[in-house]
């Protein structure tokens, strides 16, 4: 990928803007992965309790974050 | 009346979600109507036209970039895929594998919701896994016209053609500017939409 080599330069330049933006992008990616796995867990019958424990958050935070979006989320 | 994805056919829901994903991929936090158009162009047929809009998604995307449409602050300088590559992460691959493993598609409309802010009723937001994008005024109008168009024809759900109708109904929308730069006849599109409309039975049309 051509973009990769360009970016290697960007990293070497230690430009804070690039570094910070990359971290923000990583956070968005993590959120997206989390949503996929939470959805999968719900589909397999996991309780919000169990999901929260696995994510290391409080049950209410997990439920609040996803109940609206994930099918079978309300309970 | 609340605005939700439930007002749309499954195909139209996919279109709206896809528009959000396309806008997000370019680093936008707003969904401009040009991305709704692009999402419509990706699936054929449309309005009874076997070739859909009559322009390839790639050509349309190129034209959208050329027009450099500005909404709000404009997009982030770099899309997430590019930024994550600086960390040595191939985001597309990571998501593809997670999606395959979980059987969950990030673009599954069931994971998305469309809602109107209670305090600011002109604000429509599309929320999905880790993504939250607001609709621009033009996109909001297009959706509202689409809903109205379905209601007027007494169809229970607004379809992709209603979305296209909504997009074309606003002459000041960037969509018209984008199409004008392509070999697409807006007049012919309008005619085909009208024919499509006329060919539908009133009421009782299956939702899908």
> pLDDT tens digit string along B156-188?
999 999 999 999 998 888 999 999 999 999 999
Report pLDDT digits (tens) over A24-61: 889 989 998 999 999 999 999 999 999 999 999 998 88
What whole-number distance in Å separates Cα of residue B75 and Cα of residue B64? 13
Interface of A with B in 26-55 (CB under 8 A): 26, 28-37, 39-40, 43
Cut 0.90: pTM above it: no
| pLDDT for res B10 | 96
Strand, coil or helix: B114: strand
Instruction: Write down the pLDDT at residue B1.
Output: 45
pLDDT for res A20: 87
Q: Do B104 and A7 touch (CB under 8 A)?
A: no
pLDDT, residue A75, reads 44
Structure tokens of B192?
């085909």
pLDDT tens digits along B126-151: 998 878 899 999 999 999 999 999 99
ipTM field: 0.74
The average pLDDT across B21-37 equals 92
pLDDT of residue A8: 52
Strand ranges of the sheet holding B124-128, from the earlier edge strand across to the other edge: B30-31, B131-135, B124-128, B113-116
pLDDT band at A74 (very low <50, low <70, confident <90, very high): very low
Nearest chain A residue to B132 by CA: give it: A28
d(CA B114, CA B142): 14
Beta-carbon-side half-sphere exposure of residue B9 (alpha carbons within 13 Å): 18
Determine whether the interchain pair B85/A37 forms a contact, defined as Cβ–Cβ distance below 8 Å: no
Q: Would you call B45 an interface residue with chain A, using a CB distance cutoff of 8 Å?
A: no
Helix-helix angle B137-152:B160-168, to 10 degrees: 120
The owner of tokens 């759900």 is B157
Of B194 and B80, which is predicted with more confidence?
B194
- Residue A73: the pLDDT is 44
Task: Answer whether residue A23 shows pLDDT above 80.
Answer: yes
């Amino acid at each position: 990928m051509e973009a990769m080599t360009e970016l290697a330069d960007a990293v070497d330049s230690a430009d804070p803007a690039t570094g910070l933006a990359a971290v923000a992008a990583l956070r968005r990616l993590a959120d997206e992965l989390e949503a996929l796995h939470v959805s999968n867990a719900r589909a397999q019958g996991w309780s919000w309790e169990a999901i929260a424990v696995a994510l290391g958050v409080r049950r209410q935070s997990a439920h609040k974050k996803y109940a609206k979006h994930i099918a079978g989320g309300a309970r | 009346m609340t605005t939700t994805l439930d007002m749309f056919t499954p195909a139209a829901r996919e279109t709206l979600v896809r528009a959000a994903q396309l806008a997000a991929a370019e680093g936008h936090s707003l969904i401009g109507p040009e991305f709704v158009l692009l999402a419509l162009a990706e699936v054929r047929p449309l309005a009874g036209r076997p070739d859909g809009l009559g322009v390839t998604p790639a050509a349309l995307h190129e034209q959208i970039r050329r027009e450099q449409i500005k909404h709000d602050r404009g997009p982030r300088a770099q899309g997430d895929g590019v930024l994550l590559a600086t960390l040595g992460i191939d985001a597309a691959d990571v998501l593809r594998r997670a999606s395959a493993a979980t059987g969950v598609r990030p673009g599954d409309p069931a994971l998305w919701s469309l809602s109107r802010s209670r305090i600011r009723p002109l604000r429509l937001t599309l929320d999905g896994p880790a993504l939250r994008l607001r609709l621009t005024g033009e996109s909001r109008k297009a959706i509202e016209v689409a809903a109205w168009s379905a209601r007027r024809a007494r169809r229970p759900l607004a379809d992709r053609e209603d979305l296209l109708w909504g997009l074309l109904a606003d002459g000041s929308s960037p969509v018209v500017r984008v199409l004008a730069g392509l070999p697409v006849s807006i007049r012919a599109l309008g005619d085909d939409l009208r024919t499509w409309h006329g060919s539908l039975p009133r009421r009782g049309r299956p939702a899908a």
